[in-house]
Structure 1
Amino acid sequence: MLKKILIGVGALIVLSVLTVYLVYSSINKSLPEIIKIEDYQPLLVSQVYDRNNKKIGEFFRERRVLVPYKDIPKIVVDAFLAAEDDQFFNHSGINYMGLMRAAIVNMRAGQKVQGGSTITQQVAKTLFLSNERTYTRKIKDILLAIQMEKNLSKEEILYLYLNQIYFGQSAYGIEMAAQTYFRKNVKQLSLAEAAILAGLHPAPSRFSPDRNPSRAKERQIYVLNRMADVGHISREEAEATIKQPVKVYLKEDYESFAPFYLETIRQLLVKQLGENVLLDQGIRIYTGLDLEKQKAANQAVVDGLKDLDKRQGFRGPLQTLEADEVEEFLQKQKTRLITESNPERIILPDGTFAEIEWHPRRGAKATANANPREQAETDKLPSFLKVGSSYEGVVTEVNDGIGYVEVQLPETKGYIDFETMMWARKPNFEKRPEQDQIKNPSQAVKKGDVVLVKIVSEKMDWKKSTTRKNVTRPDAARHLNLELDQEPQVEGSLLSIDQETQEVLALVGGYSFARNEFNRALQAARQTGSSFKAIVFAAALNKGYNPSTPLIDAPIAYRQSGGDEGQQDARVWKPSNHSRDFNGEITMRNALARSLNIPSVKIMEDIGVPYATEFSQRLGVFSKLNQDFTLVLGSSSLTLYEMTKVFSQFGRNGLRTRPLMIKKVIDRTGKTLLDKLDLDVRFAEETRKIEEAFETKRKAYLEGSRTTESDFYFDNPEQLIKPEVAYVITDMLKATVTDPNGTGGRAAQLGREVAGKTGSTNGYFDAWFVGYTPNVATGVWVGFDKERTIGRSEVGGRAALPIWLDYMKVAHKNLPVTSFPMPEHVKVVKIDAETGKLANSASKRVINQAFVEGTEPTTATSRSEETTDLLKQDMDE
Structure 2
Amino acid sequence: MTETPQTPSNGSTTKDSLPLFGRANKDAELSSTGQIQSSDTADSNHPKKPNRPEKTKRRIWKVLFWLSFASSFIMIPVAAILFYFLTIYPTLPDPKELKEVTYQVPLKIVTQDNKLITEIGTKRRIPLEYPEIPERMTQAIISAEDENFFAHSGVDYKGLARAVYQLVTTGEKKSGGSTITMQVARNFFLTREKSYLRKLNEIILAYKIENELSKEEILALYLNKIFLGYRSYGVAAAANTYYGRPIRELSLDEYAMIAGLPKAPSAYNPIINPERAKLRRDYVLRRMHELNYINDEELAQALAVEVHAEKHGPIIEVEADYIAEMARSFALENFGEEALQNGLTIVTTLQSDLQQQANQALRHGLQEYERRHGYRGPIQTLDADQLNDQETLLKTLKSIRNFGDLKVAVVTGFEKNQTIVFSQEGETQRLDFKTMEWAAPYISVNRKGKSPKTPQDVLKIGDVIYIQMLNNQWQLAQDPKTESALVSLNSANGQIQALVGGFDYFRSKFNRAIQGKRQVGSNIKPFLYSAALENGMTAATTVNDAPVTFYDRNLEEHWRPENYSGKFYGPTRLRKALALSRNLVSIRLLQQLGVQTGIDYFQRFGFPTEELNRSKNLSLSLGSVQFSPLEVARAYAAFSNGGHLIDPYFIEEVRDFEGTTIYRSEPRTVCQTGYCPENDPQYAPRIIEARNAYIMKSIMKDVVTYGSGRKARALKREDIAGKTGTTNDQKDAWFSGFNPYITTTVWVGFDEPSTLGRYEVGGRAALPIWMEYMELALQAYPNEEPSMPEGIVTVPVNKETGQAVSADSADALYEIFREENAPEVPKISQQQLETIVEDLFD
Range class of TM-score, shorter chain:
0.7 to 0.9
**1:494 equivalent in alignment to 2:486:** yes
Structural mapping, 1:448-459, within 5 Å: 448-454=462-468
Instruction: Report the Cα offset of residue 613 of structure 1.
Output: 1.2
Q: Name the structure 1 match of 2:320.
A: 258
Which of 662, 672, 677 aligns to 1:673? It is 662
Instruction: Report the Cα offset of residue 849 of structure 1.
Output: 4.6
3-state SS of 2:621 partner: helix
**Distance change in 2, residues 1:561/1:805 (3 Å):** same
**Distance change in 2, residues 1:243/1:386 (3 Å):** farther
Count of matched residue pairs: 752
Gaps of 5+ in 2: 1-24, 26-57, 670-676, 829-842
Instruction: Check the 8 A contact 1:387/1:457 in 2, yes or no.
Output: no
Give me the TM-score of the superposition, normalised by structure 1.
0.76
**Distance change in 2, residues 1:830/1:389 (3 Å):** farther
3-state SS of 1:854 partner: helix
Q: What CA distance in whole angstroms lies between the structure 1 residues aligned with 2:257 and 2:583?
A: 70
Amino acid at match of 1:550: T
Instruction: Check the 8 A contact 2:538/2:817 in 1, yes or no.
Output: yes
Amino acid at match of 1:123: V
**Distance change in 2, residues 1:852/1:517 (3 Å):** same
**Distance change in 2, residues 1:797/1:214 (3 Å):** same
Amino acid at match of 1:33: P
Residue by residue over 1:760-781, the C-alpha shift from the partner in whole angstroms, topping out at 9 and shown as x without a partner, is 1112111111111233211111
Q: Name the structure 1 match of 2:774.
A: 808
3-state SS of 2:154 partner: coil
**Distance change in 2, residues 1:235/1:323 (3 Å):** closer
Instruction: Report the Cα offset of residue 178 of structure 1.
Output: 4.9
**Distance change in 2, residues 1:588/1:213 (3 Å):** same
Q: Name the structure 1 match of 2:186.
A: 125
3-state SS of 2:485 partner: strand
Which of 279, 294, 299 aligns to 2:360? It is 299
Amino acid at match of 1:427: I
Q: Name the structure 1 match of 2:440.
A: 424
Which of 783, 789, 792 aligns to 2:749? It is 783
**Distance change in 2, residues 1:274/1:822 (3 Å):** farther
Instruction: Check the 8 A contact 1:44/1:60 in 2, yes or no.
Output: yes
Amino acid at match of 1:274: G
Which of 172, 175, 192 aligns to 2:233? It is 172
Instruction: Report the Cα offset of residue 203 of structure 1.
Output: 3.5
**Distance change in 2, residues 1:834/1:57 (3 Å):** farther
**1:744 equivalent in alignment to 2:709:** yes
Which of 567, 571, 585 aligns to 1:599? It is 585
Q: What CA distance in whole angstroms lies between the structure 2 residues aligned with 1:447 and 1:339?
A: 19
Structural mapping, 1:627-646, within 5 Å: 627-646=616-635
**Distance change in 2, residues 1:211/1:338 (3 Å):** farther
Instruction: Check the 8 A contact 1:293/1:811 in 2, yes or no.
Output: yes
**Distance change in 2, residues 1:536/1:715 (3 Å):** farther
Give me the TM-score of the superposition, normalised by structure 2.
0.79
Q: Name the structure 2 match of 1:660.
A: 649
**1:308 equivalent in alignment to 2:324:** no
3-state SS of 2:591 partner: helix
Q: Name the structure 2 match of 1:819.
A: 785
Residue by residue over 1:185-231, the C-alpha shift from the partner in whole angstroms, topping out at 9 and shown as x without a partner, is 66777766655543443344555567777766665555455445445
658-667 vs 807-816, greater mean Cα deviation: 807-816
Instruction: Report the Cα offset of residue 511 of structure 1.
Output: 1.5
**Distance change in 2, residues 1:34/1:513 (3 Å):** same
Structural mapping, 1:693-708, within 5 Å: none
**Distance change in 2, residues 1:418/1:808 (3 Å):** closer
Amino acid at match of 2:511: N
3-state SS of 2:442 partner: coil
**Distance change in 2, residues 1:158/1:405 (3 Å):** closer
Structure possessing the higher radius of gyration over alpha carbons: 2
535-544 vs 214-223, greater mean Cα deviation: 214-223
3-state SS of 1:427 partner: strand
Identity %: 34
Q: Name the structure 1 match of 2:563.
A: 577
3-state SS of 1:57 partner: strand
Q: What CA distance in whole angstroms lies between the structure 2 residues aligned with 1:575 and 1:441?
A: 46
Instruction: Check the 8 A contact 1:767/1:796 in 2, yes or no.
Output: yes
Instruction: Report the Cα offset of residue 549 of structure 1.
Output: 1.0
Instruction: Check the 8 A contact 1:661/1:679 in 2, yes or no.
Output: no
Residue by residue over 1:98-144, the C-alpha shift from the partner in whole angstroms, topping out at 9 and shown as x without a partner, is 11222344455542232121011111221223335555543442333
Aligned CA RMSD, in angstroms, stands at 4.1
Structural mapping, 1:378-527, within 5 Å: 389-394=406-411, 396=413, 407=421, 409=423, 410-412=426-428, 414-415=430-431, 417=433, 420-431=436-447, 437=451, 445-454=459-468, 483-500=475-492, 502-527=494-519
Instruction: Check the 8 A contact 1:660/1:677 in 2, yes or no.
Output: no
Q: What CA distance in whole angstroms lies between the structure 2 residues aligned with 1:593 and 1:187?
A: 60
Instruction: Check the 8 A contact 2:374/2:438 in 1, yes or no.
Output: no
**Distance change in 2, residues 1:528/1:134 (3 Å):** same
**1:734 equivalent in alignment to 2:712:** no
3-state SS of 2:533 partner: helix
Amino acid at match of 2:705: T
Structural mapping, 1:92-491, within 5 Å: 92-107=153-168, 109-133=170-194, 135=196, 137-178=198-239, 194-207=255-268, 222-223=283-284, 225-231=286-292, 250-252=312-314, 254=316, 257-276=319-338, 278-328=339-389, 331-332=391-392, 334=394, 389-394=406-411, 396=413, 407=421, 409=423, 410-412=426-428, 414-415=430-431, 417=433, 420-431=436-447, 437=451, 445-454=459-468, 483-491=475-483
3-state SS of 1:660 partner: coil
Q: What CA distance in whole angstroms lies between the structure 1 residues aligned with 2:699 and 2:336?
A: 46
Q: What CA distance in whole angstroms lies between the structure 2 residues aligned with 1:724 and 1:266?
A: 41
**Distance change in 2, residues 1:824/1:7 (3 Å):** farther
**Distance change in 2, residues 1:33/1:590 (3 Å):** same
Q: What CA distance in whole angstroms lies between the structure 2 residues aligned with 1:225 and 1:832?
A: 94
**Distance change in 2, residues 1:845/1:289 (3 Å):** farther
Instruction: Report the Cα offset of residue 15 of structure 1.
Output: 5.4
Q: Name the structure 1 match of 2:673.
A: none
Q: What CA distance in whole angstroms lies between the structure 2 residues aligned with 1:861 and 1:780?
A: 48
Instruction: Report the Cα offset of residue 599 of structure 1.
Output: 0.6
286-295 vs 28-37, greater mean Cα deviation: 28-37
Instruction: Report the Cα offset of residue 677 of structure 1.
Output: 6.8
**Distance change in 2, residues 1:759/1:24 (3 Å):** farther
553-562 vs 86-95, greater mean Cα deviation: 553-562
**1:624 equivalent in alignment to 2:624:** no
Instruction: Check the 8 A contact 1:640/1:779 in 2, yes or no.
Output: yes
Amino acid at match of 1:582: F
Instruction: Report the Cα offset of residue 830 of structure 1.
Output: 6.2
